[in-house]
Structure 1
Amino acid sequence: MAAPAKAENLSLVVHGPGDLRLENYPIPEPGPNEVILKMHSVGICGSDVHYWQHGRIADFVVKKPMVLGHEAAGTVTKVGEMVKHLKPGDRVAIEPGVPRETDEFCKIGRYNLTPSIFFCATPPDDGNLCRYYKHSADFCYKLPDNVTFEEGALIEPLSVGIYACRRGSVSLGKKVLVCGAGPVGMVTLLVAKAMGAAQVLVTDLSSSRLAKAKEVGADFTLQVTKESPREIANKVESMLGSKPEVTIECTGAESSIQTGIYATHSGGTLVIVGMGSEMVNIPLMHAAIREVDIKGVFRYCNTWPMAISMLASKTLNVKPLVTHRFPLEKALEAFETTKKGVGLKVMIKCDPNDQNP
């Protein structure tokens, strides 16, 4: 994949399954309530890789060329005439989901559930793995001077962890089980500890990822092999001394969801974050008779201000999650690295004149 000779607005575009290209797009102009951003850091998400490999996620199908990327931060270069809270030169983190209208979900503060939402790099909407990007000013958040661009880009996955912990009512003294030590499992671990969880146990298939979880604050780790969900749940209880009040499932795997139900304390909460098959066999009656609440998570809402405060105050540290960095010109190599599962979070640097974190 060779970069065009003159990169006006170099963009990483998926055309269909397995077809990923660097192309020049026009630099956009802002609408009245929009800003133009010079992109700096964009993280690669599993969904980006999935669109590249398969051309679709569930009912979201790539029918026309689409720019990838939604974990992002950059600098304002131009503002629309109605924008008052931002100016050129402001460093911002981007919340990628913007409601297209104010409906009932927006009115009650759960705008993530509105069906009429623009979401970066979800067909048919373009993402922000490019040099210049246009976004709603209301969904761009100023970064304090002591928060880096990469930390700003990591607010998107961090927000999933914040929202999941809110849904699970994680609080002081609770024991928490996190299933999965990928990027979302890691940020969930960080947030649970920051919210006062007494002990957090993380499970995964990968010993290297569990070692990373231990490094960033897990109290216990458990490598899952071929045991049954009940056996794994028994190990979790043994390691924590009692069943966890909150389980946050970040894999989407059927067996892991089953483990979550068996492992969670009676009267506790199981939060489903991982996206798996539409139909899943679970021991529902086992949850029902023990009053284990099962809650879903769809992305996040109202999380960016909290995330920025947590990063600025050093309440948690997401920097160790970034294991690889590539310039935009080497985006395919970056995607191959992510696809192989090497490291944890791969970051693409979009500004050729500033490759710093």
Structure 2
Amino acid sequence: MNNLAVVAHAAEDLRIEDIGAPAPRPDEAVVDIAYGGICGSDLHYWRHGAAGASVLREPMILGHEVSGVVCVAAADGTGPAVGTPVAVHPLTAHGDGRTPWPAAHPNLAPASTYLGSAMHLPHTQGAFARRVALPARMLHALPAGLDLETAALAEPAAVAWHGVQRAGDVRGLRVVVIGAGPIGQLVAAVAQRAGASSVIVTDLQQQPRDIAEARGIRSIDARAESEISELHADVVIESSGTVPGLSAAVSAAARGGTVVMLGLQRGGEVPAPMATAITRELTLRGSFRFGAEFDEVIAALADGSLDVRGIISHVLPVDDALDAFARAADPASSCKVLIDFGREA
């Protein structure tokens, strides 16, 4: 079988290519990739040739939300054995030798690499391929009963999990999630699991609101500004990464409440209603990627306590990856879109 991969060459230049057999280092295992979830950053590389400050300067395999099965164990004896189903933690924490960062929070290391990222040169190649060599330390064994398709949600669910944790204990609190795309849906699911007394999502599109409603989550049209301003939420998690979304998050927060800024805003200055944040004594917290939560997320997916029903909207074969990207780019008709890499049984 050809080792087909999804490779971004430049803006609007996405190719499905045979990259040949992987050549693992001693501390790397070879993984038969089963499923890969298309992330917003993957869409940015495809559409714009860049994701924020990370600009494509050479061809790069996309993808960091993946699951699969180990087919060649690491030669140094580390990591899972052959036949182990795994989810992949895509971060490698690195310092830059001058910028301090808390060792307990590897997601804040200033010179880290992430699978499928063009932040550094050479780029960090991603995992959207049928077979990929990956550091054994990235591979987290899946519990019995967790299927590989659902396991592909582990990485974005960990991002959501971290965002909710940044708000503190949400038990008995009113939580509002701004933006009901895949991350917003997962944030709402995590907040439900964490015991929030009510969870409400906002979105411009009807389909994501319907997906949330099917899991018992109230939804509001994001254009209903007056209704949003009357929510008085204890915790608001901004998941859209948009300027209007940030303004709505501040508007929806109760006096003394907390706003978690999870959606990545554009670079440079961003307007925000800071006078409202000040006079309401809001706590504003950033949230970036995740750290040690990955195994907790995998366990919650396995036991079903994290309700992800309806979040995977489409699964397309790797041969149709271009169509998969087009679907993922349309929030009115899709949620999380997976690529099926056709792992041999």
Unaligned runs of 5+ in 1: 1-6, 238-242
- Equivalent pairs, count: 338
| Contact 2:68 2:85 (8 Å CA) reproduced | yes
State the partner residue of 2:221.
223
Q: Distance in 2 between matches of 1:201 and 1:247?
A: 9
Q: Distance in 1 between matches of 2:235 and 2:106?
A: 25
Q: Distance in 2 between matches of 1:340 and 1:224?
A: 17
| Contact 2:7 2:16 (8 Å CA) reproduced | yes
Amino acid in the other structure paired with 2:260 = V
SS in 1 for 2:151: helix
| Contact 1:322 1:345 (8 Å CA) reproduced | yes
1:264 aligns with 2:253: yes
| Contact 2:115 2:126 (8 Å CA) reproduced | yes
Task: State the superposition RMSD in angstroms.
Answer: 1.9
State the partner residue of 2:148.
149
Q: Distance in 2 between matches of 1:319 and 1:135?
A: 29
1:173-252 mapped onto 2 (5 Å cutoff):
173-218=172-217, 220-225=218-223, 227-228=224-225, 231-235=226-230, 237=231, 243-252=232-241
Measured after TM superposition, the shift of residue 106 of structure 1 is 7.3
Q: Distance in 2 between matches of 1:10 and 1:160?
A: 28
Distance 1:171 1:297, change over 3 A: same
State the partner residue of 1:343.
334
| Contact 2:179 2:201 (8 Å CA) reproduced | yes
Q: Distance in 1 between matches of 2:106 and 2:308?
A: 26
State the partner residue of 1:310.
300
Q: Distance in 2 between matches of 1:256 and 1:44?
A: 22
Measured after TM superposition, the shift of residue 95 of structure 1 is 0.8
Distance 1:136 1:246, change over 3 A: same
SS in 2 for 1:21: strand
Measured after TM superposition, the shift of residue 319 of structure 1 is 4.3
2:67 to 73, 93, 106: 73
Q: Distance in 2 between matches of 1:276 and 1:337?
A: 23
1:1-357 mapped onto 2 (5 Å cutoff):
7-100=1-94, 108-123=103-118, 124-218=123-217, 220-225=218-223, 227-228=224-225, 231-235=226-230, 237=231, 243-278=232-267, 279-341=269-331, 342-351=333-342, 353=344
Measured after TM superposition, the shift of residue 169 of structure 1 is 1.2
The two structures have a TM-score, normalised by structure 2, of: 0.93
Measured after TM superposition, the shift of residue 100 of structure 1 is 4.2
Q: Distance in 1 between matches of 2:101 and 2:24?
A: 24
Q: Distance in 2 between matches of 1:182 and 1:247?
A: 15
Amino acid in the other structure paired with 1:305 = D
Measured after TM superposition, the shift of residue 33 of structure 1 is 2.1
Measured after TM superposition, the shift of residue 107 of structure 1 is 5.9
| Contact 1:185 1:250 (8 Å CA) reproduced | yes
The structure 1 segments of at least 4 consecutive aligned residues displaced by more than 4 Å after TM superposition are: 100-107
Over the matched positions of the two proteins, sequence identity in percent amounts to 30
Deviations 1:261-307 (A, max 9, x none): 12212222100111233322112132123221111111111121110
The two structures have a TM-score, normalised by structure 1, of: 0.90
